[in-house]
Amino acid sequence: MREQLPEQPPQHLPSTCHLRARDGWNALQSILHRPGSPLMGLLALHRAFAQDEFELQAFGLRMRVAAGPASVKRVLYEQADRYASRLEGDPVTALFGQGLLVMDGERHAAVKDVIVQSSRRNELEERLRAALPALDEALHRALRRGALPLPDAPRRMTWRALEAVYFDHDLTAEEERTYLRDLTDLVHHIGPGLWLLHGRAPKLPAASDRMRRRLAVLYQRALTSAGGAPIHALARACGREEMPFAVDQLMTLLVAGHDTATSLLCSLVILLAHRPELQDALREEIEGLAGRTQPDIRALDALPLLDAVVREALRLYPPIHSGLRAELGSGHRVMVSYFLLHRHQGIWPEADTFNPDRWQRGVTPGAYAYLPFGAGPRYCPGATFARLEVKWLLARLLQRASLHPVSRPPRIAMRAALEHRPTVIAVRHR
């Protein structure tokens, strides 16, 4: 049973309209200086206001920001039925159509159930295990160059893993060459931009039509073949009659699913490149389990240091940095900021420091304080897969090479997922 609804949020929230000049200057400096991005500017505002709800007002934009456990819980759970996930004028809505991320109510629950039921942990592990030789070869090719270009190299690997597990499809080299640019364009298209100010989604790129045609071919194949992957479950549930609707789901799974894993893997590679002693400790733990051979997926997931490192990367750089909602009736937009929540100084000691040890000390954040994959009805159905694939890819990378930075940590970008600006990490074969 749901708890009784708490009191409404205060009517007079702190707002950027009444920001002190010094606080505004600090927010601007946070945007401009490394790791600098609008996310860092929001963090400076959150700390200046010292409240877990505040309002952004500038250049026609008006948006409430929820940045603490109570305010986030109110939007995601206690009053979830008062907010819509489908925002008209949002490029996410334009790209995904009737996809899972932009649906609410019973249809959302039904589609999510199809995805969840066809991606239980045992089934995910079995399908991922079948894809490991191809992933291992892709990683080997990437390491031959002596450097990992980010985010390009992780994107290729997470894309390959997602299509193998969710679409029952082995990505070919030709497909990778043909569609990688399209996939990247789609990811960049749905990130925050000027559309937030004028409320009109930019025109869909040509990459959208090309990718939809490709996904339609994969769906048609699933209609006539047996299998237990999510694409087969969608084919059984939707059939030929609802093929456009099913392709919306595939587009959502592809773009959102691979992008969050790409973000996490990039964060881990960058963080570890600047912590050689932590690389060594992780390598010792991984090789204690499997030596130089491919580690077992389930056994790898249970390694305590690896788990702590991944948890801390998800805290410091949550791939899903925020979620937008619209209040029913008023249409007022609300941003649930997981980035601010995870750097809340009232919750996390040394909130801006990468410190995996906090998890090994048995830290148990309170309810709605740590939400790397969302919460409530909007919890990400791909969370388990993202964790399993990224742990395995990182483990194999560390078994084969050491990571070395060639520059300072890159700036971060507030795209659809949190994205590190392009950089290169040097690798030395072991």
AA letter at 205: P
Please write the tens of the pLDDT for every residue from 330-368: 989 999 999 999 999 999 999 999 999 999 998 888 999
Tell me, what's the pLDDT at 4?
A: 36
Judge whether 423 and 294 are in contact, CB under 8 Å: no
Asked if residue 115 has pLDDT above 90, the reply is yes
Q: What is the DSSP string of 249-275?
A: HHHHHHHHHHHHHHHHHHHHHHHHHT-
Task: State yes or no: pLDDT of 60 exceeds 80.
Answer: no
Q: What is the pLDDT of residue 408?
A: 84
Q: How far apart are CA 347 and CA 350, in angstroms?
A: 10
Does the predicted TM-score (pTM) go above 0.85? yes
The mean pLDDT of 294-316, rounded to a whole number, is: 97
Average pLDDT in the chain: 92
The 8 Å CB, 24+ separation contacts for 172-178 are 175/214
- SS3 at position 418: strand
Q: Record the tokens describing residue 312, joined without a space.
A: 């801390």
pLDDT over 90, % of the chain? 80
Q: What's the CA gap between 353 and 369, in Å, rounded?
A: 17
| Cβ within 8 Å of residue 427, ≥6 positions away | 143, 146, 147, 148, 397, 401, 402, 403, 404
Q: ∠ CA 128-129-133 to the nearest 5 degrees?
A: 100
Q: Give the pLDDT confidence score for residue 7 in this predicted structure.
A: 41
Give the Cβ contact number of residue 357 at 10 Å.
11
Q: Count Cβ atoms within 10 A of the Cβ of residue 14 and give its class: 0-12 exposed, 13-18 middle, 19 or more buried.
A: middle
Residue 165, pLDDT > 50, answer: yes
The predicted model gives 127-147 an average pLDDT of 93
Confidence class for position 200, pLDDT limits 50, 70, 90: confident
**Residue 8 reports pLDDT greater than 50:** no
Q: Is 335 left (phi over 0), alpha (psi -120 to 50) or beta?
A: beta
CB 401 within 8 A of CB 241: no
The C-alpha atoms of residue 412 and residue 70 are separated, in whole angstroms, by 27
Pairing between β-strand 333-337 and β-strand 61-66 as defined by DSSP bridges: parallel
Whether residue 410 has a cis bond before it, omega within 30° of 0: no
Name which of 56-60, 122-126, 263-267 the model is least confident about: 56-60
How confident is the model at residue 197, as a pLDDT? 64
| Residue among 257, 254, 261 nearest 392 (CA) | 261
β pairing state of 147-150 and 322-327: unpaired
